């Protein structure tokens, strides 16, 4: 099992890239949801993430509406 | 196998898509197909997985372990079970991911002795196991499952019809 965490092994290094993307996706989904449940605006979430309001809305609005989150208009 | 092959295939696709949604994934990857395969009832593939100690629960645990191990390569210590969950997007329609395309190609290459063109769960299992790359292979390694031996067993069963 030690070879799995060998930083010299490209297989492990590339798997770490995939793992980090998965982690970032999971955190983004959960933390955007948490912010919107706490009454944040799309603009505030977008500013913190460093993306446009449209981008964050497009990516998350449908899921959050389906999850029953009360969304602010702006 | 009593169930019609076409039914099994559509059932697998639907179940794999649900696994991808549950995982918060925008694509259906090989691990989602494996989880769907493990949940099929009365198939050779599911029986073979169970005999190797691979149930849906143990596969999920192995995938979580693989995730933790791979994050550790980047110096990140995370307990996957403690990560905040997002509500899954049940409206999302995940596309077929690259690892699924590859496993389907490998499944097609693994022709049974009869030469039949049907894609069966057993053939899909061979397709999944037929690579040392990717999350499934790594998860099986972490779980201590001999992927190569399991692949040989599945391929032999396929050849025997």
What is d(CA B54, CA B60) in angstroms, rounded to the nearest whole number?
9
- Quote the mean pLDDT of chain A: 90
Q: Is B93 an interface residue toward A (CB < 8 Å)?
A: no
Q: Which residue has the higher pLDDT, A73 or B86?
A: B86
Average pLDDT estimate for B48-75: 96
Examine the pLDDT at B79 and tell me if it is beyond 90.
yes
Examine the pLDDT at A41 and tell me if it is beyond 60.
yes
CA of residue B85 relative to chain centroid, distance: 22
Q: How many CB pairs under 8 A join A and B?
A: 78
What's the fold here for domain B5-81+96-160?
A: Double Clp-N motif (1.10.1780)
- pLDDT-derived band at B2 (thresholds 50, 70, 90) equals very low
Q: Percent of chain A, pLDDT > 90? A: 80
Distance from CA of B78 to the nearest CA of A (A): 9
What is d(CA A37, CA B70) in angstroms, rounded to the nearest whole number?
31
CA of residue A28 relative to chain centroid, distance: 2
Q: Is B21 an interface residue toward A (CB < 8 Å)?
A: no
Token readout for A32 is 């955007």
Token readout for B148 is 């190569």
Examine the pLDDT at B10 and tell me if it is beyond 60.
yes
What is d(CA B112, CA A68) in angstroms, rounded to the nearest whole number?
48
What is d(CA B161, CA B156) in angstroms, rounded to the nearest whole number?
9
Q: Find the residue in B nearest to A13 (Cα).
A: B73
Token readout for A18 is 């995939």
Token readout for B131 is 């690579």
Query: What ipTM is given for this predicted complex?
Result: 0.89
Range in A5-9, A50-54, B20-24 with the lowest mean pLDDT = A5-9
The structural domains of chain B, with segments of one domain joined by +, span 5-81+96-160
Beta bridge pairs of residue B27: B95
Average pLDDT estimate for B129-151: 97
Cα–Cα nearest to B66, from B139, B147, B158, B155: B139
3-class DSSP state of B95: strand
Q: What is the pLDDT of residues B113-137, one digit of tens each?
A: 776 778 899 999 999 999 999 999 9
What is d(CA B110, CA B69) in angstroms, rounded to the nearest whole number?
31
Chain B residues with CB-CB distance to A31 below 8 A: 84
Range in A11-20, A34-43, B4-13 with the lowest mean pLDDT = B4-13
Q: Are B45 and B154 in contact (CB under 8 A)?
A: yes
Which pLDDT value is given to residue B70? 95
Average pLDDT estimate for B42-62: 96
Q: Which residue has the higher pLDDT, B10 or B47?
A: B47
């Amino acid at each position: 099992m030690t070879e799995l965490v060998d930083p010299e092994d490209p297989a492990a290094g590339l798997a770490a890239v995939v793992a980090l993307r998965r982690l970032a996706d999971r955190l983004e989904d959960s933390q955007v949801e948490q912010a919107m449940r706490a009454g944040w605006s799309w603009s505030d979430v977008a500013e913190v993430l460093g993306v446009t309001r449209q981008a964050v809305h497009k990516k998350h609005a449908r899921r959050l509406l389906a999850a029953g989150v009360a969304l602010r208009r702006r | 196998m009593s169930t019609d092959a076409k039914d099994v295939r559509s059932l697998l696709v639907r179940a794999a898509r649900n696994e991808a949604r549950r995982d918060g994934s925008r694509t259906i990857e090989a691990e989602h197909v494996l989880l769907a395969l493990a949940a099929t009832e009365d198939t050779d593939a599911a029986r073979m997985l169970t005999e190797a100690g691979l149930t849906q629960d143990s596969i999920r645990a192995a995938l979580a372990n693989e995730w933790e191990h791979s994050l550790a390569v980047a110096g990140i210590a995370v307990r996957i079970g403690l990560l905040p969950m997002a509500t899954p997007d049940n409206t999302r329609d995940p596309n077929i991911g690259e690892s699924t395309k590859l496993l389907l190609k490998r499944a097609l290459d693994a022709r049974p002795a009869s030469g039949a063109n049907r894609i069966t769960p057993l053939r899909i299992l061979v397709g999944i196991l037929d690579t040392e790359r990717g999350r499934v292979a790594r998860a099986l390694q972490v779980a201590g499952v001999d992927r190569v031996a399991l692949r040989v067993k599945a391929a032999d069963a396929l050849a025997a019809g």
